[in-house]
């Protein structure tokens, strides 16, 4: 009951957070130099044509009026119409979002699947060669810019070795699977389309590694630090004195108590990955919502920028709420 009440209160907190984010992003996006009406009309358009387009888009109204119109539509689930594509932003996001979600999922799967075991091994083998290798690997991940890593991966595995594809979601000779979720790997599995599944999976390897490497490094370092702290607790020494196998101590006693800060980082990282996919999708020409919003920024497509921001903000806030709820299952002493 306490958790249900806590969740209800946190859901109410989402309202002022979302309102504040929309105001901030709306003001910033509308103060950027440039005129989307001029971009749409083209360099040879007359002033009258540009003014007509500006009027049709509502850009000639005061900024506070534009915001109130947008907010009124947002409350109805209407993200507005994209200036660049002329299509409803919600329709565009529905089209491109599954690709970003798929990329984020595999990036997170890679970061968690490799980061937690590396952190555990690093803590158990403290100050020995596995620990040194793990920490060196983590330092590279935290220090290397995403755009540089992406270009390096393309140069080595796509251009030189030619063993992995460098762009897109599928080989050009293949057609997308039957649309169910919009995520090609899931849809291909559900329909038993194995050639498409393998192709989609290989197209995800480079961008997923590029996007997830930074967070793998962070998860590894946090897991190591938390495990070292827990392994020095008295109850761990008591368990060892009672003859409990070391493997059982590590996995059943130490790891569960060490996971709370790790879960925090995972939750925050998932929200950041959704927004951070912009650069990765641009480098690998991955047709997700990140690439869509970059093209929208180039056209000063305010509704598309706002729609992307609102969706990513909601995901980020929701993931933080989910992390707080998971705490109660990891540590029964936590009370809400």
Q: Which 8-state DSSP code applies to residue 174?
A: S
Q: Give how far the C-alpha of residue 154 lies from the chain's centroid of Cα atoms, to the nearest Å.
A: 21
Q: Burial level of 7, CB count in 10 A (0-12/13-18/19+)?
A: middle
pLDDT of residue 252: 77
pLDDT of residue 331: 65
User: In this structure, what token pair is assigned to residue 311?
Assistant: 């969706």
Average pLDDT of span 83-98: 86
**Which of 30-39, 91-100, 161-170, 187-196 has the least mean pLDDT?**
30-39
Mean pLDDT of the chain: 83
Average pLDDT of span 211-240: 85
List Cα–Cα distances, 318 to 85, 112, 270, in angstroms: 29, 19, 11
Contacts of 206 (CB under 8 A, 6+ apart): 150, 153, 154, 157, 158, 164, 165, 166, 284
pLDDT of residue 209: 92
List Cα–Cα distances, 335 to 1, 11, 258, 316, 319, in angstroms: 11, 18, 18, 23, 19
pLDDT of residue 1: 53
Q: What share of the chain is helix, strand, coil (3-state, %, to 5)?
A: 75, 0, 25
Q: Give how far the C-alpha of residue 272 lies from the chain's centroid of Cα atoms, to the nearest Å.
A: 5
pLDDT of residue 335: 61
**Which of 34-38, 68-72, 133-137 has the least mean pLDDT?**
34-38
Residue 333 confidence class, pLDDT cut points 50, 70, 90:
low
Residue 72 confidence class, pLDDT cut points 50, 70, 90:
confident
pLDDT of residue 202: 94
Residue 238 confidence class, pLDDT cut points 50, 70, 90:
confident
Q: Who wins on pLDDT, 335 or 274?
A: 274
User: In this structure, what token pair is assigned to residue 114?
Assistant: 């490799």
User: What is the topology classification, in CATH, of domain 89-330?
Assistant: MetI-like fold (1.10.3720)
pTM of the model: 0.81
Q: Who wins on pLDDT, 42 or 99?
A: 99
Report phi then psi at 88, rounded to 5.
-55, 135
User: In this structure, what token pair is assigned to residue 86?
Assistant: 């002329």
Q: Domain-by-domain residue ranges, the chain? A: 89-330
Name the percent of the chain lying above pLDDT 70.
Answer: 94
pLDDT of residue 185: 93
What is the three-class DSSP state of 243? coil
pLDDT of residue 332: 62
């Amino acid at each position: 009951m306490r958790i249900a009440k806590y969740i209800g209160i946190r859901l109410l907190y989402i309202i002022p957070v979302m309102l504040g984010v929309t105001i901030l992003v709306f003001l910033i996006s509308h103060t950027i130099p440039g005129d989307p009406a001029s971009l749409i009309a083209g360099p040879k358009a007359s002033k009258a044509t540009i003014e007509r387009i500006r009027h049709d888009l509502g850009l000639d109204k005061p900024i506070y009026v534009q915001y109130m119109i947008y907010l009124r539509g947002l409350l109805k689930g209407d993200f507005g119409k994209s200036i660049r594509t002329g299509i409803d932003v919600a329709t565009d996001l529905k089209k491109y979002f599954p690709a970003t979600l798929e990329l984020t999922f595999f990036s997170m799967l890679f970061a968690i699947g490799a980061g937690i075991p590396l952190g555990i091994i690093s803590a158990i083998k403290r100050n020995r060669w596995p620990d040194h290798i793990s920490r060196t690997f983590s330092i590279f991940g935290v220090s290397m810019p995403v755009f540089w890593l992406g270009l390096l991966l393309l140069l080595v595995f796509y251009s030189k070795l030619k063993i992995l594809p460098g762009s897109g979601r599928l080989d050009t000779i293949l057609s997308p699977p039957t649309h169910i979720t919009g995520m090609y790997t899931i849809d291909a599995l559900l329909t038993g389309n194995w050639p498409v599944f393998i192709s989609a999976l290989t197209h995800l390897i480079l961008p997923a590694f590029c996007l997830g490497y930074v967070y793998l490094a962070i998860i590894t370092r946090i897991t190591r630090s938390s495990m070292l702290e827990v392994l020095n607790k008295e109850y761990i020494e008591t368990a060892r004195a009672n003859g409990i196998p070391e493997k059982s101590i590590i996995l059943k006693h130490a790891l569960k108590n060490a996971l709370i800060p790790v879960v925090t980082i995972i939750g925050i990282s998932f929200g950041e990955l959704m927004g951070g996919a912009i650069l990765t999708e641009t480098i690998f020409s991955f047709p997700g919502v990140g690439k869509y919003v970059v093209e929208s920024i180039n056209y000063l497509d305010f509704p598309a920028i706002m729609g992307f921001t609102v969706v990513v903000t909601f995901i980020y806030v929701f993931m933080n709420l989910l992390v707080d709820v998971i705490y109660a299952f990891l540590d029964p002493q936590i009370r809400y």
